[in-house]
């Protein structure tokens, strides 16, 4: 099997890397937090002391990092991926970043003979653990064909959507829809609760109709329990919406609903709830209406 360098072992990267190890792929891993590297080494990976070292020993490199600046530093910076990667290496960046940064990284990598795919994911930590993420990929078809089986270990939906940058554009579209779904759910269920109607019964009544959605089924049961332990933190969704709004500005696209939900999320972050799950958006509406949507 091809040796894989895996850089970024956070809430998403760690379980994704573990699934590759379980599938039998030889991994060399790196993270700026040494304890995370040690944990994966204990699970069977080889430890690296830098991004360049991980790249030097690998045929395929996967990065799973918080945002655009971290990807640029890990790939383009000193002791970064491009310092160690051999010509012909495929870099799969699974971070959720700005599409323009994906294109910038790809252009600089191409000068070194390295092919880049942008392959952000959707599904949060639970699906990262289960290996059932949705993975949306941008980049050359031949490179995609070479890594598709590897990506399929981490996700049950792996789709090439176009050329470089299109993966992250697709992820931004996904994040817009998720955010607006949660906000709509929150408004509706706070209205029902304030009206004296049991929100759990409302949920059961509407989930099989046109208002039903994967988002509703994932987030409403947790809201009814008051459980906002993060699968995907509000502060991370703020980052994604910021990238979406920046991209919209570049393209001259108006996104008033996204801006409104961004404001709600930023308010929640300002009052100390940025680390809550994004389903915690409902708390904004609860506070304004002086009710709690609970069983």
Positions marked catalytic:
171
- The conformation of residue 280, written as its DSSP 8-state character, comes to G
Query: What one-character-per-residue DSSP string does 46-99 give?
Result: EE-SSHHHHHHT-SEEEE--SSHHHHHHHHHSTT-HHHHPPTT-EEEE-S---H
Q: Collapse the DSSP code of 268 into the 3-class scheme (helix H, G, I; strand E, B; otherwise coil) and give the result.
A: helix
Through-space distance between the first and last CA atoms of the chain, rounded to whole angstroms = 50
Q: What are phi and psi of 252, to 5 degrees?
A: 75, 35
Are the beta carbons of 222 and 236 closer than 8 angstroms? no
Q: 136 is written with which tokens?
A: 């949306």
Cα–Cα dist 91/292, whole Å = 46
Are the beta carbons of 150 and 25 closer than 8 angstroms? yes
- Identify the sign of the CA torsion 13, 16, 18, 23: negative
Cα–Cα dist 28/44, whole Å = 9
Cα–Cα dist 86/114, whole Å = 7
């Amino acid at each position: 099997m091809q040796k894989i360098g895996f850089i970024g072992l956070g809430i998403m990267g760690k379980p994704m890397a573990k699934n590759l190890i379980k599938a039998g792929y030889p991994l060399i891993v790196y993270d700026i937090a040494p304890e995370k590297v040690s944990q994966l080494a204990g699970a069977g990976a080889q430890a690296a002391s830098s991004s360049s070292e991980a790249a030097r020993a690998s045929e395929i490199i996967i990065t799973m990092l918080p945002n655009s600046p971290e990807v640029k530093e890990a790939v383009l910076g000193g002791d970064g991926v491009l310092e160690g990667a051999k010509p012909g290496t495929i870099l799969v960046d699974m971070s959720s970043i700005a599409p323009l940064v994906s294109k910038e990284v790809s252009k600089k990598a191409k000068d070194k003979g390295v092919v880049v795919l942008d392959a952000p994911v959707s599904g949060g930590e639970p699906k990262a653990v289960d290996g059932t993420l949705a993975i949306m990929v941008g980049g050359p078809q031949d490179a995609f064909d070479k890594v598709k089986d590897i990506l399929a270990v981490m996700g049950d939906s792996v789709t090439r959507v176009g050329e470089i940058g299109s993966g992250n554009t697709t992820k931004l579209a996904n994040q817009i829809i998720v955010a607006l779904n949660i906000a709509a759910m929150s408004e509706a269920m706070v209205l029902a609760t304030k009206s004296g109607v049991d929100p759990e019964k409302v949920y059961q009544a509407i989930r099989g109709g046109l208002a039903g959605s994967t988002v509703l089924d994932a987030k409403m049961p947790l809201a009814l329990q008051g459980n906002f332990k993060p699968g995907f933190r509000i502060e991370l969704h703020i980052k994604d919406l910021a990238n979406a709004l920046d991209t919209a500005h570049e393209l001259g696209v108006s996104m008033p609903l996204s801006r409104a939900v961004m404001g709600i999320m930023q308010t929640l972050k300002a009052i100390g709830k940025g680390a809550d799950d994004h389903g915690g958006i409902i708390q904004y509406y609860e506070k304004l209406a002086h009710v709690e949507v609970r069983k």
